[in-house]
């Protein structure tokens, strides 16, 4: 497994209704030769929510897609929970140093 956490890349994603939203890269990892990205909305995100997408090849370009398999999603989500939140203190808004 390789990993990269806390990049400064911004991704513009288009949802099913055609709305574009910007997401900041929280981290990425490769599990079983598949690249996964954890992204959080650039807009105000008081609850600290993020999405996990996987990278797939579509012809000559790479695209980000949702993870449809529950077992795969849970495995990747557990990885990001351990890696992202073990290093960052999300303590409900208390003062951080």
Tens-place pLDDT, residues 20-41: 999 999 999 999 999 999 999 9
Count: domains in the chain? 1
The pTM assigned to this predicted structure is 0.74
User: What's the CA angle centered on 53, arms 50 and 56, to 5 degrees?
Assistant: 165
**Nearest Cα to Cα of residue 28 among 64, 69, 60:** 64
Flag whether pLDDT at 49 surpasses 80: yes
Q: Would 92 be classed as within a structural domain?
A: no
Q: Is 57 part of a structural domain of the chain?
A: yes
In contact, 53 and 36? CB cutoff 8 Å: yes
Q: Is residue 93 part of a domain?
A: no
CB 26 within 8 Å of CB 84: yes
* 94 occurs within a structural domain: no
Name the helix (H) or strand (E) containing 71: helix 70-87
Residue 71 lies in a domain: yes
In a domain, 95, yes or no: no
Give me the domain span that covers residue 65: 2-87
């Amino acid at each position: 497994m390789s990993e990269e956490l806390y990049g400064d890349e911004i991704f513009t994603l288009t949802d099913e209704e055609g709305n574009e939203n910007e997401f900041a890269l929280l981290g990425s990892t490769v599990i079983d030769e598949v690249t996964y990205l954890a992204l959080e909305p650039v807009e105000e995100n008081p609850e600290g929510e993020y999405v996990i997408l996987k990278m797939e090849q579509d012809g000559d370009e790479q695209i980000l897609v949702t993870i449809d398999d529950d077992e795969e999603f849970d495995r990747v989500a557990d990885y990001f929970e351990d890696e992202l939140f073990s290093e960052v203190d999300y303590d409900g808004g208390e003062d951080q140093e």
